[in-house]
Structure 1
Amino acid sequence: MTAPALASAAATDSLAAEVARILTALGAAPERFTDGARIVRSPIDGSEIGRVADASPDEVAAAIGRARAAFLAWRAVPAPRRGEFVRRLGEALRAAKDDLGRLVSIEAGKIVSEGLGEVQEMIDICDFAVGLSRQLYGLTMGSERADHRLQEQWHPAGVVGVISAFNFPVAVWSWNAALAFVCGDSVVWKPSEKTPLTALAVSALVDRVIADFPEAPAGLSELVLGARDTGAALVGDARVPVVSATGSTAMGRIVGRAVADRFGRAILELGGNNASIVAPSADLDLALRAIAFGAMGTAGQRCTTLRRLIVHESVYDRLVPRLIEVYRSVRIGDPLEEGVLVGPLIDAAAIAGMEKALAAASAAGGTVHGGGRAAVAGLEGGHYVRPALVEMPAQTGPVIEETFAPILYVLRYSTFEEAIALQNGVPQGLSSSIFTTDMREADRFLSALGSDCGIANVNMGTSGAEIGGAFGGEKETGGGRESGSDAWKAYMRRMTSAINYGSAMPLAQGVRFDVG
């Protein structure tokens, strides 16, 4: 069989065998994941693909202790050498891309190109971090005191805790870890309990790079498996000064409070209820393609998934019927099969959440197109649904909530001010976009008077962020920033220093304190 073709008729044990082969190839020997109490299932067909043993509180504490000891050594390694370590990690990921991407697809249910794309994202952030290792710059400021120099420096923060979600089971770790490593930090990773096998594979790759890099101490990268209790043990430990957590807003409230209670720093990437505005001048063919991927890609399970479409009344009847036809024709099924665009939801609970939201939308006067469970021959144990487009009379009820499923709510607008009010009128503030060829509309959307989100795009969708820009959002999205730009500063501590190179002792603000 060719690489993309574990077809929909594949036997249940084929996925388990494929997972075992991949994990062995990547250095995570089968005995690391088969002996344990918790079953890991693929959303493709519901079959068992491995078993894992979750970390106890004592094991979490021990992992943090090892990471703390590693940090004390790693912070003394010159930053460009730390960059060389990350370069080698990127090379290891390049070599493992096909296998690791396939494992992402099997465990998280992503189509093949998205599984491979996630690993490419890991490679890209490693490349970014290598360059960053020579650019961890501070500032020099003019001092008000004669013969004085004022400067700031950035120093490693310590152990960085990373809590990642199932929808990007490895990429989110890399956004944090690649930057943390070049900044001089160690990392303790708590992946989603729904996708532990991809984490085991990545951890095995990192361990191999550590073993081959003379300055890299044992404990530089630690992995702890488990659910809420494991995360709580990591979040509550004062030896972890920085915690990056990706997940629901409800989870973020718990993590943020716990970290703040011990005066730690939280980088929160939480809910997204993202909207695109389609203006009268929009290129509708361009918008149609972007909307389709934004709303249905990853089966609607991205934090940047397009969930609200705000369409001007003058183009509504030209765009929405075409979009409904796309929803009817999109291919749903085994994500490992070529040509499939929409794979499964992660589990049965996700289907239940989608059904509840559609019922609420219908009760609020919405017209539902699509939705419901989708039967895929040979994969009856999988979690497949038909993406839903819902025409809504107003932005009420489920429209202002995030449902992690392929539901797109469509609203009409008449004035640009109304569109902006709808765009901003939800608690979340992650991603947004506008389709327009009117330069004034585009610039106003990007201005302080426009989108209130951390990401705002023009003539493209809400999803598919590049690693070069800082990723994150406002309001209930949590305010955190990861990946590119100056997001590296969150993994370091800032020190301001004044140096007196003269023989006098002038005080700031003209204060005088003469003694002797």
Structure 2
Amino acid sequence: MSHSLLDAQTWTGRLYSDGWTAGSGGVAAVTAPATGETLGEVGVATPDDVLKASPRAAEAQRAWAATPPEERAAVLRRAGALWEQHAAEIEDWIVRESGSIPPKAQLETHRAAADCYEAAGLATHPVGDVLATNEERWSMARRRPVGVVSVIAPFNFPLILSSRSIAPALALGNAVLLKPDPRTAVCGGIVHARIYEEAGLPPGLLHVLPGGVDVGEAVVSAPEVRVVSFTGSTAAGRRVGQLGAQHLKRTHLELGGNNALVVLPGADLAKAASAGAFGSFMHQGQICMTTGRHLVHESLHDEYVAALVEKATHLPVGDPASGQVALGPLIDAGQLERVDAVVQGTVAAGGTLAAGGTFTDLFYSPTVLSGLTPDMPAWSQEIFGPVAPVLPFSTDDEAISLAATGSYGLSLGILGDVGRAMRIADAVPSGIVHINEQTVADEPMVPFGGVGESGTGSRFGGAAANLEAFTETQWLTLRPEIAAYPF
């Protein structure tokens, strides 16, 4: 049997920053949203901790960038194997700390391993081009590590949304400052420290710094940081982007979404309703790709709403650590209050509550809203809760207009006739399009990102996007002898 990866004696009350050390900000409780139980205590960072970590990361990075690529790749492969070896223990933390159901936690550990295996290939990926030149020389463009990368990750998929940046950044020769969400500081932060420590990553290359907004600002503005990889809300992303621009840092922003699922006439109703329920209710709707708007052809609308209501009323909700449920808790009271305010505001504006709209503690029941107009809160806003707003359309042009309305452009799902779906896909601005799938999907080898207020484009995943995100392009020329100049 493998030893415990997350032995509390190792990390309780500590940060991981060039070893395990006390945080300047004291300690914070780790709480299970389903029960309120205290699961442990993590060290809390302050901006001073960041300003100590950043130059140490820069120092360690120089030696790491000079390390043979096969050695960097070996560390990533060992990390991937460790994610698999310790999956059950890590999944237990994801379930309890983030309120995830076990299959979602299993997806996270599987993806973290896949991120490492995929990133291992980046270490030996071609990193340049030979360029044409009018001079008597060789001219090349080569990719170089940026140096220090800051990763700011959210609570909803705490492992995936940090691993997808940490693994490729390290593989390409960078050091990383990780600021996990304080609500998921163990399964989104401490676990990375332990995995890479066990994998033999040299000291100083990964710093895990849980903290508040001030720590987030510090990991953006620290002088040694060159690139910031941020996943979170659009409002927070704007602040990160502004601060990054102020300090001339490259910021990659993967932000919110109010994603449309278009159900075309003739679509298989049962399969469409199943896809729609998964898209809206998976992980309590706390996903940037959640299906936030169901656009259903008028010929199917009433049946679709009825089928969605049937699913919503029979999906079990409860503590995912204590039994088989489909939905767990929302992350905290603030999130619950926001979700309920949007639902109740929509009903007050004339919308119909077809199912749900109730809660106990942090458990919000799967909710279906119909009888909507595009200006109602549940249609026009990102909800980040288990809410499925449904609106009918009559023509493809109307579906395009409704799907394209709004400032977000992350993920679009279209169910039904492929030819009609292709036309709609071409007409709706979106970073991701899925035909005959719902809106929630991701893989380590694909470019991921949105347009508009959903972010700065596909800067996550896949070799091309990761090279673009975590390296700089350098122009390099070579002559056989010193060139002659007129001076």
TM-score when normalising by structure 1: 0.87
One-letter code aligned to 1:482: F
Deviation larger for 108-117 or 72-81: 72-81
Q: CA deviation at 1:320?
A: 1.7
Cα distance in 1 for residues equivalent to 2:225 and 2:61 = 11
Partner of 1:441: 420
Cα distance in 2 for residues equivalent to 1:27 and 1:388 = 37
Structure 1 residues 18-73: Cα deviation after superposition (integer angstroms, max 9, x where no partner) = xxxx9x81144336325854222101111211222311222121111221111111
Q: Does 1:484 align with 2:462?
A: yes
One-letter code aligned to 1:452: P
Q: Please give the residue correspondences for 1:251-400 in structure 2 after superposition, counting only pairs within 5 Å.
A: 251-375=236-360, 382-398=361-377, 399-400=379-380
Partner of 2:208: 223
Q: 1:421 aligns with which of 401, 409, 413?
A: 401
Q: Which has the higher contact order (CA 8 A, sep 6+)?
A: 1
- Contact 1:273–1:308 at 8 Å: present in 2 too? yes
Cα distance in 1 for residues equivalent to 2:400 and 2:240 = 31
Partner of 2:50: 60
One-letter code aligned to 2:476: S
Partner of 1:118: 108
Q: CA deviation at 1:503?
A: 8.8
Q: CA deviation at 1:349?
A: 0.9
Cα distance in 2 for residues equivalent to 1:131 and 1:319 = 44
Q: CA deviation at 1:501?
A: 5.0
Q: Does 1:454 align with 2:415?
A: no
**Per the alignment, in what secondary structure is the counterpart of residue 78 of structure 2?**
helix
Deviation larger for 108-117 or 421-430: 421-430
- Contact 2:50–2:209 at 8 Å: present in 1 too? yes
Unaligned runs of 5+ in 2: 15-25
CA RMSD between the two structures: 2.0
TM-score when normalising by structure 2: 0.92
Q: CA deviation at 1:162?
A: 0.5
Partner of 2:70: 80
One-letter code aligned to 1:479: T
Q: CA deviation at 1:146?
A: 5.2
Cα distance in 2 for residues equivalent to 1:310 and 1:485 = 34
**Per the alignment, in what secondary structure is the counterpart of residue 434 of structure 2?**
strand
Structure 1 residues 97-137: Cα deviation after superposition (integer angstroms, max 9, x where no partner) = 11101110100000011011111110111111122222143
Cα distance in 1 for residues equivalent to 2:302 and 2:336 = 30
Cα distance in 1 for residues equivalent to 2:43 and 2:90 = 21
Q: CA deviation at 1:291?
A: 1.1
Partner of 2:221: 236
Cα distance in 2 for residues equivalent to 1:99 and 1:231 = 28
- Contact 1:374–1:384 at 8 Å: present in 2 too? yes
Aligned length: 471
- Contact 1:207–1:221 at 8 Å: present in 2 too? no
Q: 1:132 aligns with which of 122, 141, 164?
A: 122
Q: Please give the residue correspondences for 1:172-251 in structure 2 after superposition, counting only pairs within 5 Å.
A: 172-198=161-187, 199-210=189-200, 216-251=201-236
Cα distance in 2 for residues equivalent to 1:503 and 1:244 = 41
Partner of 1:150: 139
Unaligned runs of 5+ in 1: 1-21, 211-215, 376-381, 506-513
Q: CA deviation at 1:338?
A: 4.5
Partner of 2:21: none
Partner of 2:159: 170
Partner of 1:515: 486
Cα distance in 1 for residues equivalent to 2:372 and 2:191 = 47
- Contact 1:432–1:462 at 8 Å: present in 2 too? yes
One-letter code aligned to 1:140: V
- Contact 2:122–2:463 at 8 Å: present in 1 too? no
Cα distance in 2 for residues equivalent to 1:181 and 1:383 = 37
Cα distance in 2 for residues equivalent to 1:56 and 1:28 = 24
Q: Please give the residue correspondences for 1:497-516 in structure 2 after superposition, counting only pairs within 5 Å.
A: 497-501=476-480, 515=486
**Per the alignment, in what secondary structure is the counterpart of residue 363 of structure 2?**
coil
Q: 2:440 aligns with which of 463, 488, 512?
A: 463
Q: CA deviation at 1:262?
A: 1.2
Q: CA deviation at 1:272?
A: 1.1
